[in-house]
Each structure stands twice: as structure tokens, then as C-alpha cells.
Structure 1
Amino acid sequence: MKGIANRAGCYRTSAWSRSSGTARRRGEPLRMTFKRITVEPGQMDGVPCIRGMRIAVATVVGMVAEGMTETEIVEAYPDLEATDVREALRYAAETARERELPLAG
């Protein structure tokens, strides 16, 4: 892994972020470009949701973590499309990549 530990002993996982379609240097504001992920302060306390619906990204990612397939998720939530599931996973990956992680040991 590339990066440096900050004063709090946390490690930034990447200096550049390209997976969201925009490059940025460490310390610049995050500019993610996701067409299917919405964050509205007045809806579900600003939790990232799928296309303005009250289906949280975390719900979809959790379903994948439990072993559900895209097809099973779309069957459980008929308003979703397979592309929504993939975008939720991309969003989760990007936000995890941007977190500071404590160093072991």
C-alpha cells in the first residue's frame, strides 16, 4: 500500500482516486461522480440512497455481503436494477478507499 501515516497514527490508503472518474490529490475535496447514488439531507438523514428512493446503499451492500446475487436483490426490491447494485458496490468501494485506517501494531 502507498501512503503515509498522519499525526493520529492513521493511514490514508491512496493519494489518487481515479475509480470515480475524477482524479484528486490528497486533501482535496472528494468529487465522486455517481449517477445512481443520491444524498439528500431531508431524506433518511442524508444517508446515501439509490436514485432518490428510500433504499440505502448500505442495505444493498449488506445484501451482497450476505451472499445474495444481483438477481435476488432485484427480486427483493423490484424498483432496483442490476446497474443500481453495481453502482452501490462501486460507491462503497470508493468511500472505503477514502477512509483513514488505524495502523496495526
Structure 2
Amino acid sequence: MKLDRITINPARMNGQLSIRNVRLTVRRVIELLALYPDREDLRREYPELEDEDIRQSLLYAAACLDDRVVELPVPYETAA
């Protein structure tokens, strides 16, 4: 897995993983993807963010997730 756009610098962003040493953390990119479902809106707000930055952020996040099963609560149903 090639993640050459994800950088870490202890002197920047409190040492969090960042995108190409700009002031955008990987965590923030993932949050932005949830907040901006339309990529064009995201590009207007964050023109420095490139498609490859997004792709590598998603790859990193996926690699950090466990493949464990999490039980979800049974949906609440009302009696009619």
C-alpha cells in the first residue's frame, strides 16, 4: 500500500498524520468526506485537497480498522 502523501511531523499539527505537510490531518479529511457528500463542494472549500489525498486517507483509515463484528442494537419497533 503506497501512502506517500501521508506525512508526520512532530512540530506540526501536534504530530498528527497530515496530508503532504499541509495543515490538514488525515482525521480531518475523513470528517470532511462525511460533511461534504458532494465532492465539488469539498473541492471549493478545500482547493488544496486532491483526489489522491482523499484516496490515501481512506486507505489509511481502512487499514486501521479491525475486522471484528460489532453487535448493533435491535431496531426499536413500536406496537401498532
TM-score, reference length from structure 1: 0.56
- Of the three residues 42, 45, 53, the one matched with 1:73 is 42
In 1, Cα distance between equivalents of 2:42 and 2:36? 10
Give the alignment of 1:29-68 within 5 angstroms: 33-68=2-37
Q: CA deviation at 1:67?
A: 4.6
Q: Please, what is the CA RMSD of the aligned residues?
A: 2.2
Alignment gaps of 5+ in structure 1: 1-19, 21-32
TM-score, reference length from structure 2: 0.70
Match of 1:30 in 2: none
Q: Which runs of 4 or more aligned residues in structure 1 lie more than 3 Å from their structure 2 counterparts after TM superposition?
A: none
Structure with the larger RCO, 1 or 2 (CA within 8 Å, 6+ apart): 1
More helix by share: 2
Once the two structures are aligned, what percentage of the paired residues are identical? 31
Figure out how many residues of one structure are paired with residues of the other and give that number.
Answer: 70
More strand by share: 1
In 1, Cα distance between equivalents of 2:66 and 2:6? 17
Alignment gaps of 5+ in structure 2: 72-80
Q: Which amino acid aligns with 2:62?
A: A
